Structure 1
Amino acid sequence: MPRPQILTYVDAGASDWTACLMRTIGHQLLAGAYEIRAVMADDIRHDATLFDEAVLFVMPGGADLPYCALLNGAPNARIRHYVEQGGAYLGICAGAYYACRELAFHAGTRGAICGPRELSFVNAVAVGSLPELTGGRLYDGTPQTTAAVELRTTDRLTIVPMSLYTHYHGGCRFDFGDAPAPDTEILAVYAGIDGTPPAIVSSRVGKGLVVLTGVHLEISERECKDALRGHSDMPKYLHVCERLAETGDARLAVFRRLLAHAGLTLD
């Protein structure tokens, strides 16, 4: 009997962190209970059985515009149908921007990326990047705009709210206007930003569930250090990795709770 599948998008736009994400979900969190399957845009467009065994579709961090280029139209319609019929979607960083009603990335700058998005799973504007977390620097893809940020969970995710450090690199906060819709829950907030805006949210979509996170719970101290190797100013950013190490166990525990919230069965 085939194992249930977690589909992870790996086509154009997906970042180099996607392999780390797949390892973390498959080995550290779920211990082989699920098949972790990499999928391309053509699979979503043409494979009629792609979602038959799927329990989760993961849209990783990376870049939103290549996602739009390959998935707008029929592929997005298939993803939405899968979720509406009872599937689950996990969007991380760019995958979270991509799944909101609208995004506002670097609004007001020459490199702004703003506008509505087709999936529109969550009725919010994904606003980023968040220079208040990175010493005033807007995301530029370099270690200068990475940070270990303090996250505080809500009692919707953990029985007792808790604080932990997690990797941040260009992600969003979620702007709901006056208040989230009744079918939307705030699971964690940015403790280091005035007003503690939402950092992780979930929303019911038809019979399914969407979970979006502006931070990278999958990235550990070790992977942070691996990414910095080869940079001439690596020592300047090791404090990010060291801060992640302080709450590494809590970070993985929260990631497990997030997957359980999305409907996965944990051992």
Structure 2
Amino acid sequence: MTNNSLTIWIYADEGTSELSVKSALVTMKNKLPIGLANSVQTISSQDIINNKLSGLNGIGILVMPGGADLPYCQKLNGLGNAIIREFISKGNIYIGICAGGYYGARDIEFIGRSYENGNSEKYEINGPRELAFFSGTAIGSIAKLTNGRLYDETATSKALVTLDYENAEQDKVYYHGGAYFVGDKDVEFKVVATYSDGKNAVVSGNFGKGKYLLSGVHFELCADVYESYAVESANESDMEKEQTLLSAVSHKDYGALVYQEISGMIEASYKSA
């Protein structure tokens, strides 16, 4: 194996957020302290089923971005998820962000709110997930982070939240509908960061010879992409919040603490390969 060979796949298919996908394509290459990856590219459900993940010379990372996880299930349940599990178990890495974080847990419990024809209605998405890298439950959305507002597609349910890390480090990151993670008793995993109430915001662990990281927040965001997808289309009432979020995402160290964790996972994978 070539020691510095690294391929990063960003899942882009039905259900994925263009904001998350396009941001990850930039920041997964530019913010990993280990240096540039050999390849950062998108991958579809059909690509996965056609075994595009196989035959890598080095370490591979599969990034499951934000969006909605039910379409992920529809496209990947069965063969697709079996291929992903095998890929990770052989020594590669899964990064799940927001919806991708839910998708990497064994069970999810999600409550959101939809608006149709002027009416507001709660909806729930509950049940098992096949990847099950994290032996526990991903629970959201977290209304206490958004002034009591359950997840919806508006800026009202977005927030800038403070995460607490080891060694008393903190940073502020974008939250929009993500989970907190509750592990089963006696299950080993690492708490990378917590929300201000102590609940697990980012967790990581081992799966076979591979590793996973699940995040309830969007550490991957790219300022240029966020500006074009969110700020430029914001209505007047949302503009102040969107500008505040953009300012945070634009900071040179935005997401750096999570990217440091991913870098460490990659380095450990090289050593054990």
Structure 1 length-normalised TM: 0.86
Measure, in 1, the Cα distance between the counterparts of 2:99 and 2:232. 24
Instruction: Determine helix, strand or coil for the equivalent of 1:111.
Output: strand
Q: Match for residue 254 of structure 1?
A: 257
Measure, in 2, the Cα distance between the counterparts of 1:150 and 1:175. 19
Q: Match for residue 27 of structure 1?
A: 30
Measure, in 1, the Cα distance between the counterparts of 2:146 and 2:137. 21
Contact 2:231 2:246 in 1 (8 A): no
Contact 2:173 2:255 in 1 (8 A): no
Q: Match for residue 271 of structure 2?
A: none
Q: Match for residue 130 of structure 1?
A: 142
Letter in 2 for 1:209: K
Instruction: Determine helix, strand or coil for the equivalent of 2:168.
Output: coil
Q: Match for residue 70 of structure 2?
A: 65
Contact 1:92 1:212 in 2 (8 A): yes
- Shift of residue 31 of structure 1? 4.9
Measure, in 1, the Cα distance between the counterparts of 2:259 and 2:217. 15
Is 1:106 matched up with 2:111? Answer: yes
Contact 2:8 2:40 in 1 (8 A): yes
Q: Match for residue 198 of structure 1?
A: 200
Contact 2:51 2:83 in 1 (8 A): no
Cα distance change on mapping 1:145 and 1:72 into 2, 3 Å: same
Q: What RMSD over aligned residues (CA atoms) do the two structures have, in Å?
A: 2.4
Measure, in 1, the Cα distance between the counterparts of 2:252 and 2:195. 19
Matches within 5 A, 1:86-235: 86-106=91-111, 110-154=122-166, 160-176=167-183, 179=185, 181-182=187-188, 184-191=189-196, 193=197, 196-220=198-222, 223-226=225-228, 227-232=230-235, 233-235=237-239
Q: Match for residue 157 of structure 1?
A: none
- Equivalent pairs, count: 253
Structure 2 length-normalised TM: 0.84
- Shift of residue 3 of structure 1? 4.8
Contact 2:92 2:210 in 1 (8 A): yes
Is 1:38 matched up with 2:45? Answer: no
1:17-44 per-residue CA deviation (whole Å, 9 max, x = no partner) reads 2111111111343653330021111111
Instruction: Determine helix, strand or coil for the equivalent of 1:14.
Output: coil
Is 1:84 matched up with 2:103? Answer: no
- Shift of residue 222 of structure 1? 5.0
Unaligned runs of 5+ in 2: 114-120, 269-273
Measure, in 2, the Cα distance between the counterparts of 1:107 and 1:138. 5
Contact 1:51 1:82 in 2 (8 A): no
